[in-house]
């Protein structure tokens, strides 16, 4: 399957799972995020109930105005009924305002807490989690899914309670005023229930299709933009436009279908309401004509009936909100409950200043239990050793480096630094003394100075500039519009690949690590920049224990020790000349990859 198909497939699966039944345990956990704002919750609920009471009092006051005022020509009673009606409207408006204010405070507060916990969890999770979950999906959890929860926490809970109180109040008042007429008006309820069930099914399918199509549209946009270089290089603009046209039309059609379903429900409910009104008029009018019912009661009933169906429509909408929120809660709480294995274990102590002795003792590791990635890895590095890690693709080089950085913990054996098992010390105290430079440099949408200072936040401006000079980055930095204060854009978009890598070198240098890992760090540096890099590396690596994954001949030949890996195992180790004399895997790799370069250089 092509990349577009794969992306769309995942979006479809996500959309199919975006509604879930009500779960009390999950709901109560969600409510726990409103605890700091429970005062706002109680005020909002009180305002909603008070506003509902004012609303359902209105028709009864109409009844009083007609029967006690107009029908009896009692202007005093009419005045007070009209004044009371106006007062209920004023109070209802004030309560509605208070409800809106406190509901917003409640919802925003809960969202703040959820996003805070979710972001904190992302900081703790191991790389395996991010390897298995696309960034776009995780961003959706922090945006779309939390918005779905916000809709329930803020307006949803209060609206549901308000609608239930409204329905209950109307039914009770109608039964008290005229039981026979109330029962007659309830004849339409089975019809309304059937209509709601039919609508729920069709609306769920329609809106699920909308979410699927918008997911496909988003995936199309994302993959087209990220692959624009390839698209233009292979002249595939027309094919991409045709694919997008198809996806875009499907999205429009899905939205039209959803709009048709939604717009049918409102008029259908109005029709049922009209049937109820006709029943009330005919049956109630017959009773009024016989003198057994006051005309004000009939008017009040018609008014109540017009209000009766609105809460039912609202509850139908809120049912979807609840389902979406439950599905979102399942996804978000699933992330929050993901176990973190690389943690500070009980009794972990601060790592003492590192001297640089590294020992892998029979280390084994697996991303998946049935597929070992590293097996029986055993080697030692003395302080200040410059070790190169080589081997074919998939040999386990990057995993070995990640284990040394303690991005993962071994499932077998132990990794020791200065004879201390890394699992017995705190992560922060160890990682403050190590650094890594990756093949794909990570820079942030900030200034050049702040990107370098990221390696040590308390570094002075002079130290930042000295680190840049040491790796040769100052040559291009000083040519930028604002020099070190130049904002380099998201992901360093204003810099070349080589310039971004030089900044990452400066960042590592200013951190002054005792252990340094370079993962293909010079792979994207051009030959002109390499002269600066090699001299910078001499300074950077001096006196530090380093593990270098590299394919450049100069880096490998200058290593104090070369570790050769194959299929997760250490198969050879020694110096460049020793391994060539051995005639094993390294010699074979050297003949295929490096000998031509040595000839060219010589």
- The residues, any chain, with a CB within 8 Å of residue 494's CB and separated by 6 or more, are 486, 488
Neighbouring-strand partners of residue 517: 436, 547
315-348: pLDDT as tens digits? 877 777 787 788 888 888 989 998 888 888 888 9
Nearest Cα neighbor of 215 from 250, 189, 241 is 250
Question: pTM of whole model > 0.85?
Answer: no
Find which of 202-211, 355-364, 545-554 is predicted with most confidence, using mean pLDDT.
355-364
The two structure tokens encoding residue 10: 């995942």
For strands 412-417 and 420-421, give the pairing.
antiparallel
Strand ranges for 158-259 from DSSP E = none
Predicted pLDDT of residue 298: 85
474 sits in which H/E element: helix 474-477
Q: What is the mean pLDDT of residues 184-189?
A: 80
253-279: pLDDT as tens digits? 888 887 887 777 777 877 887 888 888
Band (176; pLDDT cuts 50, 70, 90): confident
**Measured between alpha carbons, how far is residue 154 from residues 38, 51, 163, 332 in Å?**
12, 17, 15, 18
8 vs 491, higher pLDDT? 491
Per-chain mean pLDDT for the chain: 82
302-316: pLDDT as tens digits? 888 878 777 877 887
The DSSP secondary-structure symbol of 40 reads H
State the CB neighbour count (10 A cutoff) for residue 390.
26
Nearest Cα neighbor of 298 from 186, 189, 187, 177 is 177
Band (77; pLDDT cuts 50, 70, 90): confident
Under CATH, to which class is 439-512 assigned? alpha beta
Alpha-carbon distance of 576 to 568, in angstroms, equals 21
Q: At what angle are helices 295-336 and 157-177 packed, to 10 degrees?
A: 160
Nearest Cα neighbor of 538 from 470, 476, 597, 602 is 470
The two structure tokens encoding residue 68: 């006690």
Buried/exposed code over 330-342 (b: 16+ C-beta within 10 A; e: otherwise): ebbbebeeeeeeb
The two structure tokens encoding residue 513: 């690590």
Nearest Cα neighbor of 243 from 231, 233, 254, 234 is 231
Residue 536 CB-half CA count within 13 A: 27
DSSP, collapsed to helix, strand or coil, labels residue 600 as helix
**What φ, ψ does residue 460 adopt, rounded to 5°?**
-80, 165
Domain 356-433+516-602: give its CATH superfamily: P-loop containing nucleotide triphosphate hydrolases (3.40.50.300)
DSSP, collapsed to helix, strand or coil, labels residue 514 as coil
Find which of 251-265, 412-426, 428-442, 451-465 is predicted with most confidence, using mean pLDDT.
412-426
**Measured between alpha carbons, how far is residue 414 from residues 146, 326, 568 in Å?**
40, 42, 16
Under CATH, to which class is 22-177+322-340 assigned? mainly alpha
Nearest Cα neighbor of 360 from 397, 402, 400 is 400
The two structure tokens encoding residue 576: 């460049």
């Amino acid at each position: 399957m092509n990349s577009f198909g794969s992306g769309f497939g995942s979006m479809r699966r996500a959309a199919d799972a975006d509604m879930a039944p009500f779960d009390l345990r999950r709901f109560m956990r969600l409510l726990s995020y409103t605890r700091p704002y429970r005062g706002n919750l109680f005020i909002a609920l009180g305002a909603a109930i008070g506003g509902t009471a004012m609303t359902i009092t209105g028709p009864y006051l109409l009844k009083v105005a007609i029967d006690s005022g107009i029908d009896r020509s009692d202007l005093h009673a009419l005045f007070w009924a009209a004044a009371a009606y106006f007062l209920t409207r004023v109070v209802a408006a004030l309560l509605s305002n208070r409800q809106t204010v406190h509901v917003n405070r409640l919802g925003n507060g809960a969202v703040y807490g959820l996003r805070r916990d979710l972001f904190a969890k992302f900081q703790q999770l191991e790389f395996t989690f991010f390897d298995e979950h696309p960034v776009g999906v995780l961003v959706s959890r922090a945006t779309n899914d939390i918005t779905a929860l916000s809709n329930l926490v803020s307006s949803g809970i209060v609206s549901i309670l308000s609608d239930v109180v409204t329905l209950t109040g109307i039914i009770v008042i109608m039964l008290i005023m005229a039981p026979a007429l109330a029962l007659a008006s309830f004849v339409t309820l089975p019809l309304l229930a059937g209509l709601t069930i039919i609508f729920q099914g069709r609306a769920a399918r329609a809106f699920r299709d909308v979410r699927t199509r918008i997911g496909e549209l988003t995936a199309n946009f994302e993959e087209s933009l990220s692959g624009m270089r390839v698209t233009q290089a292979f002249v595939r603009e027309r094919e991409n436009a045709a694919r997008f046209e198809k996806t875009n039309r499907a999205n429009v059609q899905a939205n039209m279908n959803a709009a048709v379903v939604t717009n049918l429900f409102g008029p259908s409910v109005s029709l049922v309401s009209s049937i109820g009104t006709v029943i009330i008029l005919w049956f109630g009018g017959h009773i009024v004509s016989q003198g057994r019912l006051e005309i004000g009661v009939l008017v009040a009933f018609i008014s109540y009936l017009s209000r009766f169906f609105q809460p039912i429509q609202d509850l139908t909408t809120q049912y979807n909100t609840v389902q979406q929120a439950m599905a979102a809660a399942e996804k978000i709480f699933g992330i929050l409950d993901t176990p973190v294995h690389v943690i500070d274990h009980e009794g972990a102590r601060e790592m003492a200043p590192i001297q640089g002795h590294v020992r892998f003792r029979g280390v084994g590791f697996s991303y998946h239990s049935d597929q070992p990635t590293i097996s029986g890895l055993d080697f030692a590095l003395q302080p200040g050793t410059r070790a190169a890690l080589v081997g074919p693709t998939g040999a386990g080089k990057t995993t070995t480096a990640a284990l040394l950085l303690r991005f993962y913990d071994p499932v077998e054996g132990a990794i020791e630094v200065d004879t201390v098992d890394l699992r017995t010390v705190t992560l922060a105290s160890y990682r403050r003394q190590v650094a890594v430079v990756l093949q794909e440099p990570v820079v942030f949408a900030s200034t050049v100075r702040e990107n370098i200072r990221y390696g040590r936040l308390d570094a002075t401006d002079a130290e930042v500039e000295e680190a840049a000079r040491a790796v040769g980055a100052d040559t291009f930095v000083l040519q930028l519009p604002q020099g070190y204060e130049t904002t380099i854009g998201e992901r360093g978009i204003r810099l070349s690949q080589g310039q971004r890598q030089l900044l990452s070198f400066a960042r590592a240098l200013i951190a002054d690590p005792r252990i340094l890992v370079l993962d293909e760090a010079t792979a994207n540096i051009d030959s002109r920049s390499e002269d600066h890099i090699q001299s910078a590396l001499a300074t950077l690596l001096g006196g530090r224990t380093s593990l270098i994954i590299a394919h450049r001949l100069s880096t490998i030949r200058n290593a104090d020790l070369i570790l050769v890996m194959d299929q997760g195992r250490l198969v050879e180790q020694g110096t460049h000349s020793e391994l060539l004399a051995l005639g094993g895997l390294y010699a074979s790799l050297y003949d295929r990859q490096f000998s031509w370069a040595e000839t060219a250089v010589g």
